[in-house]
């Protein structure tokens, strides 16, 4: 295969897995199935033994244990942040998997690391918050109205980075202690 075709294959595979468009993430089986989707002409004589080897596995899948973690995000006026994303990353190990969640309209979130709402890895986490972004207006519409500030509120840009947010929380193995109510100040 040419260099460009291989690069395209890996970029597309990364996009599918990173953006949760494929249900099996962080696994060799998921990568193999994505490869079969991209290159379906793999001979059966090669694919069946590969599936058997991958299905047997090699023991530990490298996953860290996760613990249910949830909370709410509110604005400085006390109203919930009605959309966006929140992400927790271990403060002492940036290579460890981060936990993320979509913020619901009522400001509530449940973190997921490997699967949706499966929790976060134990330890001290740095946190970032990304607001929901309004859809891009069609430039052909002359009377396009600005986005509703209640649906797309402005938050301080410092919350968009782990280093500047100032938000740190400890996730423990006891789920009752893993409820975090976050108030974003201007």
| Domains of the chain, earliest start first | 3-56 (no CATH), 66-133+146-183 (2.60.40.1120)
Categorize the per-residue pLDDT at 165 as very low, low, confident or very high, splitting at 50, 70 and 90.
very high
pLDDT tens digits, one per residue of 34-67 = 555 555 555 555 555 555 555 555 555 789 999 9
Is pLDDT above 90 for 166? yes
- Tell me the β-bridge partners of 123: 171
Choice between 167 and 57, residue whose per-residue pLDDT is larger: 167
| CA–CA dist 64, 171 (Å, integer) | 13
pLDDT tens digits, one per residue of 60-84 = 578 999 999 999 999 999 999 999 9
Give the pLDDT confidence score for residue 11 in this predicted structure. 61
Averaged pLDDT score across all residues of the chain = 79
CA-derived radius of gyration, the chain = 20
Closest CA to 109 of 55, 182, 53: 182
Give the pLDDT confidence score for residue 91 in this predicted structure. 95
Phi, psi angles (nearest 5°) of residue 35: -60, -40
| CA–CA dist 182, 81 (Å, integer) | 10
pLDDT tens digits, one per residue of 91-127 = 999 889 999 999 999 999 999 999 999 999 999 999 9
| CA–CA dist 25, 174 (Å, integer) | 26
Choice between 44 and 156, residue whose per-residue pLDDT is larger: 156
Is pLDDT above 90 for 151? no
Mean pLDDT of the 168-183 span: 96
């Amino acid at each position: 295969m040419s260099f460009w075709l291989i690069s395209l294959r890996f970029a597309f595979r990364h996009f599918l897995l990173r953006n949760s468009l494929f249900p099996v993430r962080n696994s060799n089986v998921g990568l193999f199935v994505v490869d079969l989707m991209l290159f379906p002409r793999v001979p059966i004589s090669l694919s069946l033994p590969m599936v058997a080897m991958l299905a047997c596995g090699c023991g530990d899948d490298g996953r860290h244990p996760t613990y249910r973690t949830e909370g709410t995000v509110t604005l400085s006026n006390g109203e919930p942040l009605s959309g966006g994303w929140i992400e927790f990353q271990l403060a002492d190990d940036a290579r460890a998997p981060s936990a993320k969640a979509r913020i619901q309209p009522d400001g509530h979130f449940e973190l997921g690391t490997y699967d949706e709402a499966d929790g976060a890895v134990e330890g001290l986490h740095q946190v970032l918050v990304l607001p929901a972004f309004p859809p891009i207006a069609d430039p052909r519409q002359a009377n396009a109205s600005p986005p509703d500030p209640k649906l797309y509120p402005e938050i301080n840009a410092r919350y968009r980075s782990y280093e500047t947010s100032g938000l740190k929380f400890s996730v423990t193995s006891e789920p009752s202690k893993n409820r975090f109510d976050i108030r974003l100040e201007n």
